[in-house]
């Protein structure tokens, strides 16, 4: 019988040690269980996340909120940048993802919440803040149930402080239609180094 490869040995160690699955495997399982809510077959690339965060002033960021963290691709890079006294609240409707993040991210600044981004105002207040400085979203806006995307955009506009921004990445260019009723100042870029290539928007609360 051939000797197991290094990958097989790693996978066997994970199973026998009861360790959590790899982020990649966890994301794929999430997609097959809830394809519409997850809305993508692969996590975002690190290049996309760094591009989105390049416009954030981390010296003026006490509360960052992330919608739809999934398995934490964006979250982990964000925590590397966030100030030691800042707070990161992530909100996801999928209990498997929230449990996975709670199990795999050990950081006193990090607060995973099982819930909908539509309830962001209540969630921000529950964490002792009046406003969020920045909010990032990888939500599949175009496949959310009718009305939910607009509800989220409105609540987001109201909870971000003046000078803060809503950071949105999605492959569907129509997602901008959720932003234009609420923001006048919207910057846009494309990130090709992602599967599929993504649209990036920064909607500024002036
Ligand atoms: C495409 S995945 C994004 C994953 C991750 N942010 C990334 O960059 O790879 C979309 C995520 O949004 C979550 N989601 C869908 N509807 C939501 C809602 N109303 N509120 C919060 N999260 C939601 C899904 O459970 C899923 O984790």
CATH value at residue 139:
3.40.50.150
Q: With pLDDT > 70 as the criterion, what percentage of the chain qualifies?
A: 87
Inside any domain, residue 10:
no
pLDDT at 22: 82
Per-residue confidence band for 11, with pLDDT thresholds at 50, 70 and 90: very low
Sorted by sequence, the CB contacts under 8 Å of residue 192 that are 6+ apart come out as none
Question: Does residue 162 register a pLDDT over 80?
Answer: yes
**Span 83-125, pLDDT tens digits:** 999 999 999 999 999 999 999 999 999 999 999 999 999 999 9
pLDDT at 13: 44
Q: Whose CA is nearest to atom 16 of ligand 1?
A: 37
Inside any domain, residue 4:
no
Pocket residues: Cβ below 6 A from ligand 1:
37-40, 43-44, 67-70, 73-74, 91-94, 97, 116-118, 138-140, 144, 148
pTM value surpassing 0.85: yes
Q: In total, how many domains does the chain have?
A: 1
Parent domain of 86: 24-204
Inside any domain, residue 177:
yes
Inside any domain, residue 15:
no
**What number of CA atoms fall less than 13 Å from residue 77's CA on the CB side?**
18
Inside any domain, residue 69:
yes
Inside any domain, residue 147:
yes
Q: Across-strand partners of 89?
A: 65, 111
**Span 30-84, pLDDT tens digits:** 776 777 676 666 688 999 999 999 999 999 999 999 999 999 999 999 999 999 9
């Amino acid at each position: 019988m051939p000797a197991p490869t290094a990958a097989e040995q790693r996978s066997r160690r994970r199973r026998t040690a009861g360790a959590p699955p790899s982020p990649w495997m966890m994301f794929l399982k999430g997609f097959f269980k809830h394809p519409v809510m997850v809305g993508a077959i692969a996590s975002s690339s690190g290049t996309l996340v760094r591009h989105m965060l390049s416009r954030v002033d981390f010296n003026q960021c006490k509360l960052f909120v992330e919608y739809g963290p999934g398995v934490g691709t964006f979250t982990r890079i964000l925590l590397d940048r966030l100030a030691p006294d800042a707070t990161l609240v992530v909100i996801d409707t999928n209990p498997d993802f929230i449990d996975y993040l709670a199990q795999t991210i050990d950081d006193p600044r990090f607060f995973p919440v099982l819930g909908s981004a539509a309830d962001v105002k209540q969630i921000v207040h529950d964490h002792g803040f009046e406003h969020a400085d920045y909010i990032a979203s990888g939500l599949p806006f175009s496949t959310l149930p009718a009305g939910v995307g607009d509800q989220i955009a409105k609540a987001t506009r109201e909870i971000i402080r003046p000078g803060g921004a809503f950071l949105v990445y999605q492959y569907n260019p129509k997602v901008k239609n959720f932003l234009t009723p609420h923001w006048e100042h919207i910057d846009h870029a494309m990130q090709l180094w992602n599967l599929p290539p993504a649209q990036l928007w920064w909607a500024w609360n002036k």
